[in-house]
């Protein structure tokens, strides 16, 4: 099977610092592919380059075989690449419903109709409702996003990312700041999503990573030091050294 997204020797430097160093990886459809590594390994920078938030200093990003390395952000999104951020990035002043609705509208079209009411786009409304039902946010539809609890905001962000019918969904620490119960819920959601599309997950919570990933890439100081299944990664000496036996590693030793 052909990978849906690949990076070929992707690099990004800031001044003298090589944040992403010749990273090559392949992401397959209907798979949860996790990217892990100690702090400062370059995970978020990698996501930023793949999604276009940052430019690549070298190398390529290929999506469905096409080179998208220099395409602007909004074009990549339209092609089917969606993401969430480590620090929640949603439309705080708008209602929960509008947060998702505008994303759906952007995807399905209708943004140029100036003589219709916003609520007049029936297809958009239906899809918005469907997504909100799926993530379980229907009871807070009309509330402004900034009034939601942190965990709900993170879920809302995933909902927004889903609005574009993405084929590749990149999630940057979706469970950050969540309670164990919320983390379980979102893990289930991500796992389910991983059966429909390609999911790239950056996470620090090793339990989550080990439980739901099919494939793991380990980064250290910007470069790939290991790839494999959760079991393979758990027993990889290089990976263990990279984490230097920190707390993050504890759950893995029990796999």
Partner 1 sequence: MRALKDNPAGKLILLGVLVCLVILPFVLPNRFYVRLVNEIMIYALLAMSLDVLLGYTGLLSFMHNAYLGIGAYSTGLFLMHAWSGSVWLAMLAGVLFTLAVALPVGWVQVRTGGLAFALLTLAFGMMFYTVAWKWYPVTGGDDGLMGLPQPTLSLLGINLASSGNSTAMYLFTLGVVLVCFLFTWRVIHSPLGAVLEAIRENEERASFVGINVRRYKLVGWMLACGLAGVAGSLYILYRGYAGPGVMGAFEGAGVLMMVLLGGMGSLWGPLVGAAIFIFMKDFLSSLTQDWEIFVGVIVILLVLFLPRGVAGLPDLLRRAKAE
118 touches partner 1 by CB under 8 A = yes
User: Per-residue string for binding with partner 1, 151-170, x by CB under 8 A?
Assistant: ---------xx-xx------
How far, in Å, are 14, 77, 99, 107, 112 from residue 82 at the CA level?
Answer: 25, 6, 15, 11, 23
Question: Which of 68, 102, 156, 176 contacts partner 1 by CB under 8 A?
Answer: 102
Of the candidate residues 11, 21, 51, 97, the single one contacting partner 1 (CB under 8 A): 51
Q: Edge-to-edge, what's the strand order for the sheet holding 5-14?
A: 17-27, 5-14, 58-63, 66-67
Residue keyed to tokens 């219709």: 116
User: Which residue lies nearer to partner 1 by CB, 10 or 160?
Assistant: 160
With CB under 8 A as the contact rule, the residue among 1, 115, 122, 244 that binds partner 1 is 115
Residue 82 found at the interface with partner 1 (CB under 8 A): yes
Pick the closer one to partner 1 by CB: 52 or 194: 52
Task: Pick the piece of the chain touching partner 1 (CB under 8 A) from 70-78, 179-187, 203-211, 241-249.
Answer: 70-78
Output the smallest distance, CB 207 to partner 1, in A. Answer: 28
Residue tagged 């999104």 (tokens): 77
Report, in Å, the least distance between residue 107 CB and partner 1: 6
Binding span for partner 1 by CB under 8 A among 31-39, 40-48, 85-93, 200-208:
85-93
Which residue, 220, 200, 223, is CA-closest to 47?
Answer: 200
Cβ–Cβ < 8 Å for 135, 158: yes
- As measured in angstroms, the least distance from the Cβ of 153 to partner 1 is 12
Ramachandran category for residue 222: left, alpha or beta (phi over 0 → left; psi -120 to 50 → alpha): left
| 49 binds partner 1, rule: CB under 8 A | no
Tokens 């019918």 — which residue? Answer: 165
68 vs 216, beta carbon nearer partner 1: 68
Region label for 166, one of left (φ > 0), alpha (ψ between -120 and 50) or beta (otherwise): beta
CA 155 to chain centre: 12
From residue 242, give the alpha-carbon distance in Å to each of 20, 80, 195.
16, 34, 31
Integer Cα distance of 174 and 158 in angstroms? 8
Q: Which residues bind partner 1 (CB under 8 A)?
A: 51, 53, 72-74, 77-78, 82-83, 89-94, 98, 101-103, 105-107, 110-118, 121, 160-161, 163-164
């Amino acid at each position: 099977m052909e990978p849906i997204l690949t990076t070929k020797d992707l690099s990004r430097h800031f001044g003298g610092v090589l944040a992403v160093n010749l990273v090559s990886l392949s992401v397959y459809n209907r798979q949860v592919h996790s990217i892990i590594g100690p702090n400062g390994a370059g995970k978020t920078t990698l996501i930023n380059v793949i999604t276009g938030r940052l430019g690549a200093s070298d190398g390529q990003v290929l999506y469905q075989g096409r080179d998208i390395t220099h395409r602007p952000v909004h074009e990549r999104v339209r092609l089917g690449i969606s993401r969430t951020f480590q620090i929640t990035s949603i439309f705080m002043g708008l209602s929960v419903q509008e947060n998702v609705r505008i994303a759906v509208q952007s995807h399905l079209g209708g943004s140029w109709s100036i003589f219709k009411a916003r609520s007049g786009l029936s297809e958009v409304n239906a899809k918005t409702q469907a997504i909100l039902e799926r993530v379980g946010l229907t009871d807070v539809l009309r509330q402004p996003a900034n009034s939601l609890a942190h965990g709900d905001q993170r879920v809302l962000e995933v909902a927004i990312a889903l609005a574009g019918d993405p084929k590749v969904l990149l999630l940057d620490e979706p469970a950050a700041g969540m309670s164990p119960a919320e983390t379980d819920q979102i893990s289930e959601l991500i796992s389910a999503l991983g059966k429909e599309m390609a999911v790239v997950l950056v996470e620090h919570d090793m339990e989550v990573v080990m439980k739901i990933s099919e494939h793991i890439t380990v980064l250290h100081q910007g470069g790939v030091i290991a790839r494999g299944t959760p079991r393979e990664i758990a027993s990889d000496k290089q990976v263990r050294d990279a984490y230097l036996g920190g707390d993050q590693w504890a759950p893995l030793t029990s796999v």
